[in-house]
Amino acid sequence: MIEPIRIGIVGLGTVGSGVVRLLVESANHISRHAGRPIVVQKVVVQDVNKVRSVQVPGGSLSTDIRHISLDPSISVVALLMGGLEPARSMMVELLKNGKDVVTANKALLAEHGPELFALARRQERSIAFEAAVAGGIPIVAAIGECLAANRIESIRGILNGTSNFILTRMEEDGSSYSDALKLAQKNGFAEADPSMDVDGTDATQKLAILAHLAFGVWVPWAEIPRTGIDGLDIDLLKYAEELGYRIRLVAVVNRAADKLAMRVGPALVKIGTPLAETRGAYNAVSIVGDAVGRMFFHGLGAGQMPTASAVVADIIDTVVGRTAITFRTTGLLSVDTPTTHMNETDTIERHFLRINVSDKPGVLARITGILGNHGISIASVIQHDVSGSPDTGVPLVIMTHQCASIAVRQAISIIDQTDVVRGRSVCLSVLDE
């Protein structure tokens, strides 16, 4: 009889309950992969009296992290609590007491990754975090291990399931943004306070983690240009479709020499391409490596069991010793990889513009004249015969050819100051492949 490995779990919410369920229901299968049984020894929660949907067989509950950190029989702990505090202090406490940590907390890593990773390395411990990005999609392993022979050239991801659910509902049902958000909340795909999801924060934090893995640098997530989906309306989606595109919240990092260009925001993706076909709560990641070419991964990016699947895979990896190796080599990456990042000033791509113009003669000539002065050439224009007035304006939709983003931004700021424009114009990136 092989001695089981005893683990601790911190947090018994949706993900924590899923992890316990998986460890119990698939115990035989998991113990074969781990080479020994995995037993939940102790659980730390915020309220021990709360009624739980799962029973922890033999696991004793406490609200005190020392219940786990000071137990020498526990070597691996899954930290499955969200937010920054007390999660950060708890991880520090666990690492200082010699525990290897598995976590799904992307906000914690995006905010405090450098110090936590450094602490783990000093303590000769590891942090595994497959579940922190794209749920069940093994993107952390893919970048950190499977594509190790490649220099990564770009990563594009749909990393926030809530936003993607909302956009898919708007596009397929013609719902308004607010109705789609309510439906997402009703179906458990959005929190009561969805702001971190719909304003792009969540996707940006995940992008910062992927960039760390791919390029060995920690870019502070708050410095990454970010736009959410909360400013989108259904008309934008309809115009995009008319041009052969869908709108997705896309997180992008491109490498050019020693610079990284990063951003998160709604972008037009061509119908028929993998990102455009990513619907509902699914996540997707497209990576280009110099040797492997373009790789595409698609799967459930959130939800109880997909996330639990990634957490338990990390627990197994930590138990058998793979995580320690990977965590050590990942730390060696940041030697001569890109160390600066750029704010997309050099980006050349197609742009989608919606400008609300006064419905009177000469307007189109004036707008296109300003674009032309900035070297922006127009691929297509849509202006429908809608009833507008000089006061409310009518939408003018323009798809540009490839041009510098900085030129488009400058042109738009001039256009928005003219007396023929009503309200603020919208400018979105266009991703053609």
Catalytic annotation, residues: 206
Q: What is the 3-state secondary structure (H, E, C) of 159-202?
A: CCHHHHHHHHHHHHHCCCHHHHHHHHHHCCCCCCCCHHHHCCHH
DSSP character string of 327-344: HHHHTT--SSS--EEE-S
The reply to whether 136 sits near its own copies by the rule CB under 8 A is: yes
Give yes or no for residue 393 binding its own copies (CB under 8 A): no
User: Which residues are paired to 341 by β-bridges?
Assistant: 260
Asked if residue 72 has a cis previous peptide bond (ω within 30° of 0), the answer is no
- Which residue of 257, 291, 365, 386 would you call a contact of its own copies, by CB under 8 A? 291
Q: How far is the CB of 5 from its own copies (least distance, A)?
A: 13
169-174 contacts at long range (C-beta below 8 A, 24 or more positions apart) = 170/232, 170/234, 170/237, 171/237, 171/241, 171/246, 171/247, 172/279, 174/234
* 325 forms part of the interface with its own copies (CB under 8 A): yes
Give the nearest distance from C-beta 22 to its own copies in angstroms: 6
Binding segment for its own copies (CB under 8 A), chosen from 118-126, 319-327, 406-414, 420-428, is 319-327
Q: What is the DSSP letter of 146?
A: I
274 contacts its own copies (rule: CB under 8 A): yes
Site for its own copies in 68-127 (CB under 8 A): none
Return the closest-CA partner of residue 101 out of 116, 86, 114. 116
Asked if 305 touches its own copies (CB under 8 A), the answer is: yes
Least separation in angstroms between residue 305's CB and its own copies is: 4
Residues 329-348: x where in contact with its own copies by CB under 8 A, - otherwise, as a string: x--xx-xx------------
Does 34 interact with its own copies (rule: CB under 8 A)?
yes
Per rule CB under 8 A, is residue 320 in the interface with its own copies? yes
**Strands (E) located in 19-148:** 38-44, 60-62, 74-79, 100-103, 127-128
- Angle CA 243–249–252, to nearest 5: 100
The single residue among 9, 77, 108, 141 that binds its own copies, judged by CB under 8 A, is 141
Stretch that binds its own copies, among 20-28, 46-54, 169-177, 237-245 (CB under 8 A): 20-28
Residue 245 has a CB neighbour count (10 Å cut-off) of 23
| Rounded Cα distance, 138 and 280, in Å | 19
- Note whether 272 binds its own copies by CB under 8 A: yes
What's CA 337's distance to the chain center, in Å? 22
Our finding on whether 1 is near its own copies (CB under 8 A) is no
d(CA 294, CA 288): 4
Question: Is residue 298 near its own copies by the rule CB under 8 A?
Answer: yes
Nearer to its own copies, 328 or 424 (CB): 328
The reply on whether position 153 binds its own copies by CB under 8 A is no
Smallest distance, its own copies to C-beta of residue 349, A: 23
Which residues face 38 on adjacent strands? Answer: 5
Residue 91 phi/psi, 5-degree rounding, is -65, -40
User: Whole-number minimum distance, CB 280 to its own copies, in Å?
Assistant: 11
> Which 248-267 positions form the footprint of its own copies (CB under 8 A)?
none
Rounded to the nearest whole angstrom, what is the least distance from the CB of residue 364 to its own copies in the complex?
A: 36
Q: Does 171 bind its own copies (CB under 8 A)?
A: no
Using DSSP, state whether 352 is helix, strand or coil: strand
Asked if residue 138 binds its own copies (CB under 8 A), the reply is yes
* 2 binds its own copies, rule: CB under 8 A: no
Q: How far is the CB of 274 from its own copies (least distance, A)?
A: 7
Find the part of the chain contacting its own copies (CB under 8 A) among 143-151, 205-213, 248-256, 425-433. 143-151
Residues 6+ apart with CB under 8 A from 118: none
Enumerate residues 179-208 that contact its own copies by CB under 8 A: none
Using CB under 8 A, count the residues that bind its own copies: 59
In the complex with its own copies, the residue whose CB is nearer, 152 or 421, is 152
Cβ 246 vs Cβ 324: under 8 Å = no
Interaction of residue 432 with its own copies, rule CB under 8 A: no
Q: What b-and-e string marks burial along 279-301, b requiring 16 or more CB atoms within 10 Å of the CB?
A: bbbbbbbbbbbeeeeebebbbbb
Taking the C-alpha atoms of residue 186 and residue 118, their distance in angstroms, rounded to an integer, is: 41
User: Which range touches its own copies (CB under 8 A), out of 69-77, 287-295, 353-361, 399-407?
Assistant: 287-295
Max CA separation in the chain (angstroms): 86
Interface residues with its own copies (CB under 8 A) are 18, 22, 26, 28-30, 32-35, 130, 136-138, 141-142, 145-151, 272, 274, 277, 289-300, 303, 305-306, 308-310, 312-313, 316-317, 320-322, 325-326, 328-329, 332-333, 335-336
